[in-house]
Amino acid sequence: MAETFSPPRYHRIRAVLRERIARGEYLPHQRIPSEAQLCREFGVSRGTVERAIRGLVEEGVLYRVQGKGTFVASPPLDEVSFRLGSIWEEARRAGRRLTNRVIRQTQVAATPEAAQRLEIPPGHPVIEIVRLRLIDDLPIAHESRTLALELCPQLLEEDVETQSIHELLLHKYRLPLLKASYTIEVVLLEGPEAELLEAEPGTPAFLVDRLTYTTGLRPAVWFRQLFRGDRYRFVAEIAPLEA
């Protein structure tokens, strides 16, 4: 008698959930049934359901929010490039809704690190703006900008929740922004950043560090942006290397 093979139950649960998402039964950012509900529906243990959900989280199909449940992830944007502001242009072109939440917009004394990056004395007055950026109401990035106060003191009074800071500096206040240098690294989210991005502590994230220069190649704006690694990807196109 030929033996028959039955795939593990968590495979079946995973396939059913994936199919429901594809049919639009569960929409992006909608909470799926709880593990207890799925246990009753499929007649399996909690461990089996947890394993099925964990696999979909690892694939980027679902994401978890601590204390709230498991939700359907948005399809990732196809491409992210490094032109200033291009990430959000991609979101708009894809029909996503982009919003900002201002966490802090204030004058502070430059920290030693900010002073070193901006080539100013420690304690020098600087503007610090911290925002949370959301796509379709989902926290995507935590960003901070620091610049010397004298470069644009009016920025403290601007509405930076609905306006592009880069566009304000460049066009309204005529601050020449001539070039930028980037570094990108993978870090682990901790503390307030993890909480604001609704991520578990230790979740991997992309840290984009950008220094933008003005006239005389003076460092003008120090910008840091944290992207949740499970909600974004960077794609680069390069020319073939010579043999």
Distance CA(201)–CA(179), nearest Å, equals 34
Report pLDDT digits (tens) over 162-194: 998 988 998 999 999 888 888 888 899 999 999
State both tokens at 179: 């070039």
Continuous H helices in the chain: 9-23, 35-42, 46-59, 86-93, 112-118, 165-167, 191-196
Could you tell me if 79 and 235 are in contact, meaning their C-beta atoms sit under 8 angstroms apart? Answer: yes
pLDDT band at 83 (very low <50, low <70, confident <90, very high): very low
Q: What is the identity of the amino acid at 73?
A: A
Nearest-Å Rg of the Cα atoms of the chain is: 22
Q: Identify the CA nearest to 225 among candidates 163, 133, 122, 150.
A: 133
Give me the pLDDT at residue 24, please.
79
The pTM for the full model equals 0.64
The helix (H) or strand (E) run that includes residue 113 is: helix 112-118
Distance CA(24)–CA(58), nearest Å, equals 20
Residue ranges and CATH numbers for the domains of the chain are 9-72 (1.10.10.10), 86-228 (3.40.1410.10)
pLDDT of 225 above 50: yes
Distance CA(191)–CA(204), nearest Å, equals 13
Q: Is 37 helix (H, G, I), strand (E, B) or coil?
A: helix
Give me the pLDDT at residue 8, please.
81
Q: Which residue has the higher pLDDT, 140 or 235?
A: 140
- Apex CA 64: angle with CA 223 and CA 102, to 5°? 30
Give me the pLDDT at residue 143, please.
95
Q: Identify the CA nearest to 175 among candidates 206, 216, 143, 140.
A: 216
pLDDT of 61 above 60: yes
